[in-house]
Each structure stands twice: as C-alpha cells, then as structure tokens.
C-alpha cells in the first residue's frame, strides 16, 4: 500500500492512497486513459486524527499517470544533487483528485534528500456536507520514501492495466 510518512519519529503525518476495485471502477483497455476511472481509498493520519473521505475520490487513469509523473519529476530533480539556495525557485509539481477532494504539491526542499509535501483536503468531501473549506498540511518526506510510494502506486496501476 502506498504511504507517504513525514520524516519525524514518531510519525506525525501519513498520507495513504490505494487504487481499489469497487462499483465505481470503470475500466476498459480499449478506451483512452482519460475515459477510464479508478476509485482511490485515501486516508490521512495526523497524530491522533484520521481523515477519510465519505465517498472515495476517483482518478482517471491519465490523472493517475500525471500524479506518478509529478512524483518522478520531483524525485529526479532532488536526485540531481545540485546545491539549493534559499530563495532559489524550484519547480512545483501539483496534482489532485478529479473532483477536488484533495490537492497535493511536491516541491524540493533546501536540504538534500528532502521533499516538501503540501496537502490540502476538501472538508466538504470528508463530511459529505455543503460547507466547503480546505484543511492543509505541510510536511517533509525523504525523497527515497516518496520514490517507494510511487513504485507501489505504479504496481497497483499495472495490476489494473494488466488484469483488466
């Protein structure tokens, strides 16, 4: 299961994302990626709090591939080993769920092997309510952990593409 954890011990923030097969799955090999939809079980743990969406977010396969590509790009930039100066611009790699349930931005930190994660969750989607505001988290992850998260996500996507 793909999980991103902050760098602290004990872990204070976790972001888990699993591609699942349920009634919302709409996948056909013969359709274009943007026409195929995979539900995502998304869980955010913050110390003693647990956030899970009342209805599972859905990603198009092209959206999942863009999400994976964003992670590949930020990890590749981080692995260049170039010195990062405070105030120097670094690429941001934003992505999010199709219906706006969450939005996540990956950005290289100034310290080697660290990546900033900025995660915003739509509280209306958590509570299935009309009140619409976002709750945000900003935390650091090790680039290697983000790479492992992405590898696990790629394996799940391969399962859908290969077995469907």
Digit-coded pLDDT (tens) for 57-73: 888 999 999 999 989 98
pLDDT at 81: 67
Q: Which helix (H) or strand (E) holds 18?
A: strand 13-19
Supply the pTM of this predicted model.
0.87
What integer pLDDT is reported at residue 132 of this predicted model? 76
The string of pLDDT tens digits covering residues 97-135 is 777 888 888 888 877 789 999 999 988 888 777 777 889
Of the CA atoms within 13 Å of residue 6, those in its CB half-sphere come to: 18
- In words, the CATH class of domain 3-163 is mainly beta
Helix (H, G, I), strand (E, B) or coil at 29: coil
* Mean pLDDT, residues 61-87: 80
C-alpha 102/C-alpha 55 separation (Å) is: 12
Identify whether the C-beta of residue 121 lies closer than 8 Å to the C-beta of residue 100: no
Q: Is the predicted pLDDT of residue 84 greater than 60, yes or no?
A: no
- Domain locations in the chain? 3-163
């Amino acid at each position: 299961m793909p999980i991103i954890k902050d760098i602290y011990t004990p872990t204070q923030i976790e972001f888990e994302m699993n591609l699942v097969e349920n009634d919302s799955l709409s996948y056909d090999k013969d359709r274009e990626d943007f026409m195929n939809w995979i539900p995502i079980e998304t869980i955010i743990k913050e110390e003693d709090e647990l956030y899970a969406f009342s209805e599972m977010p859905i990603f198009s396969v092209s959206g999942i591939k863009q999400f994976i590509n964003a992670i590949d790009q930020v990890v590749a930039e981080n692995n260049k080993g170039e010195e990062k100066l405070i105030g120097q611009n670094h690429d941001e790699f934003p992505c999010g769920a199709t219906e706006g349930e969450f939005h996540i931005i990956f950005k290289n930190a100034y310290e080697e092997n660290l990546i900033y994660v900025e995660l915003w969750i739509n509280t209306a989607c958590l509570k299935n309510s009309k009140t619409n505001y976002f709750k945000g988290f900003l935390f650091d992850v090790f680039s290697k952990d983000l790479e492992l998260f992405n590898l696990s996500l790629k394996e799940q996507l391969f399962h859908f593409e290969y077995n469907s």
